[in-house]
Every structure is written in C-alpha cells, then in structure tokens.
C-alpha cells in the first residue's frame, strides 16, 4: 500500500529501456513449458503478473531457472505437466489465468486457478464457454463466470468458435487448448486482437494459418523448444512517450520496443494528435517487429476514437486520458466498453481520479468525453490497485504545478517494477 509523490520538475531527457513485453513473456513461458526440450527466454518481464505465471508452471512440474535477464525453461512436452498440489495463484493477471486455463483444459488432471480480488471479479465465462465446448469440465462461481476456476481437462476436440468479444486472451486460451485437441480448431473475432500467440506458434513450427479472417490450428503438433527473445513493452513505454510529449523541452529515447501492428494504436493516435515520435532501427526479432523510439515535446490536439481503434490501444487508455487532458480541445472515445472489465473499470477509475486533479471528464457507457487544456492541480489521488492507473497519474503529476501523491502504488510492480527508477533517471538526466 505504498504511495508515490511526484513533483513537476521540468523536462524528461535521456535514454531508457522498458521491461520486456508482458503479453509475450506469459506466452513464452507457457509455450516453452509445453515444448519438447529446453529453451532460454531472454529479456522477460519481471513484473509480478509474469512471475505468477512462472510460479504456476513450476507448480505444474516444470523446471524453470531464473536469472536476472533470462529464464531457462525445461519443456515437458504436451503431456508432461503434473497435477499441482495447491490452487495456482495468478495474482492480478487476466492474461495469466485465461491462458493457463487454455493449457490446463488439455491436461488429464484437476487444477484450480485463482487470483486477487480484482481478478476474481473479472469475467471468465468468455474463456470457459469455448473451453467447455472443446470438452473440458470447468466449474467456477456464478456457473463458471468467476474465478476460482476448477478445471478437469481431458480429451479435447477442435471447435469452430466466433468470439463475441475481440480479445487476445480468449483467442490464446482457445489456441493453447487447440494444441491438445483432436482435429482443427478455428477461431474468429469481430476485430483483430494482438497476434503474439500466432507469431510464436509459427516461429516454433506449429501450423497456425489465417483463412479468410479465421485462424486455423491443427491439433496435437509436436514442437521442439526454441530460444526466445522478448522485446520491450510498448504498453510500458507509452507512459514515457506521453510524458515526453507533454512536458516542454523533453526528449526521450526508448530502445528496443515491440512494435507489433496490433499494439501500435497509441503511436498512430498520438501522431494524429500532433506528437513528435520517430521510430529508428526497425527490425524483426523473434518474429516480432521492434524499433527504438525518439519522442520530443510537442503540443497535442484532442481527437475522436471509435471502436475499430480500441483493440490496438486497449491497455493505453489510462495514459491516453492524460494526453487528452493536456491537449487542445475535446477528446471523445466510443466503443471502449471492454475498459470496464480490466484490472479496474478503467473508464470509471480514470474519470474519478482525473476529476480530483481538475480535469473535466465525463463518463459514457462505452467511453468518455474529456475537455483538454486542463490546469492539473496537486493533491492526493488513488490507483484503485490498478498498475496502469497508478503510472498514468504519476505522468499527469509532471504536467501540473504542485505535487501529486498517488496512494496504493505497490501495484506498479505488476508490470513495471522499475517505473520509478526510469522516471527518476529521465528527470535527473535533465538537471
């Protein structure tokens, strides 16, 4: 329950490296555990979310050695996991719980997945429904809508599933279960979500093709472990991209950032708002596009965001709200109701906290309307236990004229344990 006080103190300047991508780290750990043979994952995310997935895999009998920059996973193959003695605690992580549910649906033993109070209130029916259709027996509170989930896996069969929600977590749960299924698994969704799982499958030689907007996976492949490299997390970089855009005289370089096109909505939107972002050294690493970002201060204009843009910047809305609060003119977001079922209801938490800081923001059922050019005022505010809300408020604090204290900031370690160090590096470098 720590707190963080941030005082406005001039530009952000210097070069940083953000943590490894959280989404890719979860996938790298799970897929390596199911592969035949050992592999090294370099640049993994040290955030608590990913460490919970790592510990869950260890409890499933996978040997994982942890080093400062890499982990060594001894893969057990598709049928090598063993029954855990205790419930598997995924902490705050929807990705960890939903992806593990997919992998555990194919196991012939019983396992229980749970997490903290936030995770136990998030919708799980969205993965339970297709996994049951594939043949897994899953019990949970409210008919399987809420964790803890008890999964008795077994002989799965491939299904054709159209998800009502665009979600990489649903897609990845179905694809991971599809590895164990007899026959083909076909998956489609309204708008494309991030495709890290598909890219990783392909790089490991697991056939996973797109046929007219439907993903097709052939079940029961054998695949050998392969060393994986995790790029920096664009969702972590976004805090300093917005910070550098907003604070006059700033210039920040963020090296080695993942630029998967299903994730770069925030760069496109900030660019349209007037941000000065250059991408250098574009390259492909482990099947994922990567580059270095140079961001300079630039005045921003308000913008309208609609449903089609939402999946490509789904995790960036808390920090996007801060960008919009300082931009010239109005910003309107629609079609973003998924924000209400994230680590917190991010429409409500951001509206509540930004209102405390003197920002004119009005909630709507599926988004918000925000008036820019706010005079951000100092004082206390609250993260609500949501890591991205905490970091967004810390960046907002750089734009006002009095310190802001954010309460309940332990949650930052969920995805970005070195956030405060990186912030101090960029502020110190400028003095």
CB 220 → ligand S3P: shortest distance, Å?
Answer: 23
Rounded to a whole number of angstroms, the minimum distance from the CB of residue 21 to ligand S3P is: 9
Q: Which residue is closest to ligand S3P by CB?
A: 23
Task: Give me the least distance between CB of 208 and ligand S3P, in Å please.
Answer: 15
Least distance between ligand S3P and beta carbon 371 (Å): 27
Cα three-residue angle 285-287-289, rounded to 5 degrees: 60
> Considering only residues 13, 20, 23, 316, which one is a binding residue for ligand S3P as defined by CB under 6 A?
23
Q: Is 61 exposed, middle or buried (0-12, 13-18, 19+ CB in 10 A)?
A: middle
CB of 314 to ligand S3P, least distance (A): 5
The span from the CA of 294 to the CA of 277, in Å, is 6
CB-wise, 14 or 231, nearer to ligand S3P?
231
Say whether residue 314 binds ligand S3P (CB under 6 A): yes
Going by the DSSP 8-state scheme, the letter that residue 342 receives in this structure is S
- Ordered alpha helix ranges (H), 296-402: 317-326, 346-356, 387-396
- Applying CB under 6 A, does 344 fall inside the site for ligand S3P? no
410 CB burial (10 A radius; 0-12, 13-18, 19+): middle
Tell me which of 48, 89, 315, 316 binds ligand S3P, using CB under 6 A. Answer: 315
Q: Which residues contact 311 (CB under 8 A, 6 or more apart)?
A: 166, 191, 192, 193, 194, 262, 265
User: Is 313 an interacting residue with respect to ligand S3P (CB under 6 A)?
Assistant: no
The size of the interface with ligand S3P (CB under 6 A), counted in residues, is: 11
DSSP secondary structure of 250-275: -EEEEEEEE--TTTTHHHHHHHHHT-
Residue list 61-120, contact with ligand S3P (CB under 6 A) = 95
**180, two tokens:** 């164990």
What residues act catalytically? 315
- Of residues 115 through 174, those in contact with ligand S3P by CB under 6 A are 167-169, 172
Q: Point out which residues bind ligand S3P (CB under 6 A).
A: 23, 95, 167-169, 172, 193-194, 314-315, 338
């Amino acid at each position: 329950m720590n707190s963080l006080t941030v005082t406005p103190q001039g530009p952000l300047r210097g070069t940083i490296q953000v943590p490894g991508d959280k989404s890719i780290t979860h996938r790298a750990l799970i897929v390596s555990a199911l592969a035949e043979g050992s592999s090294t994952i370099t640049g993994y995310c040290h955030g608590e979310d990913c460490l919970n997935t790592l510990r869950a895999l260890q409890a499933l009998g996978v040997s994982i050695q942890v080093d400062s920059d890499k982990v060594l996973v001894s893969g057990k193959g598709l049928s090598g996991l063993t029954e855990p003695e205790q419930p598997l605690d995924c902490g705050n992580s929807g990705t960890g719980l939903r992806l593990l549910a997919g992998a555990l649906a194919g196991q012939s033993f019983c396992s229980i997945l749970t997490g903290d109070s936030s995770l136990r209130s998030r919708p799980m029916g969205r993965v339970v429904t297709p996994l049951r259709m594939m043949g897994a027996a899953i019990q949970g509170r409210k008919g399987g809508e809420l964790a803890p989930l008890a999964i008795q896996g077994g002989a799965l069969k491939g299904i054709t599933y159209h998800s009502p929600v665009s979600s990489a977590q649903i897609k990845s749960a179905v694809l991971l279960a599809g590895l164990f299924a007899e026959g083909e698994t076909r998956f489609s969704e309204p708008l494309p979500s991030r495709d890290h799982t598909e890219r990783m499958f392909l790089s490991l030689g697991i056939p996973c093709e797109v046929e007219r907007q439907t993903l097709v996976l052939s079940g029961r492949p054998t695949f050998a472990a392969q060393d994986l490299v995790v790029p920096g997390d664009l969702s972590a970089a976004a805090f300093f991209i917005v910070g550098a855009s907003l604070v006059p005289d700033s210039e920040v370089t963020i090296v080695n950032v993942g630029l998967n096109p299903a994730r770069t909505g925030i760069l496109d939107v900030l660019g349209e708002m007037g941000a000065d972002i250059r991408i250098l050294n574009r390259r492909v690493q482990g099947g994922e596009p990567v580059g270095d970002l140079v961001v300079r201060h630039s005045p921003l204009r308000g913008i309208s965001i609609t449903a089609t843009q939402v999946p490509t910047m789904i995790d960036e809305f808390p920090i996007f709200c801060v960008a919009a609060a300082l931009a010239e003119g109005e910003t309107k977001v629609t079609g973003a109701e998924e924000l209400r079922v994230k680590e917190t209801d991010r429409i409500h938490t951001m509206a509540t906290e930004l209102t405390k800081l003197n920002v004119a923001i009005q909630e709507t059922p599926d988004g918000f309307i925000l008036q820019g050019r706010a005079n951000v005022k100092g004082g206390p505010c609250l993260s609500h236990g949501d890591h991205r809300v905490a970091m967004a408020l810390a960046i907002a604090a750089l734009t006002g004229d009095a310190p802001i204290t954010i309460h309940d900031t332990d949650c930052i370690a969920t995805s970005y344990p070195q956030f405060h160090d990186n912030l101090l590096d960029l502020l110190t470098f400028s003095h």
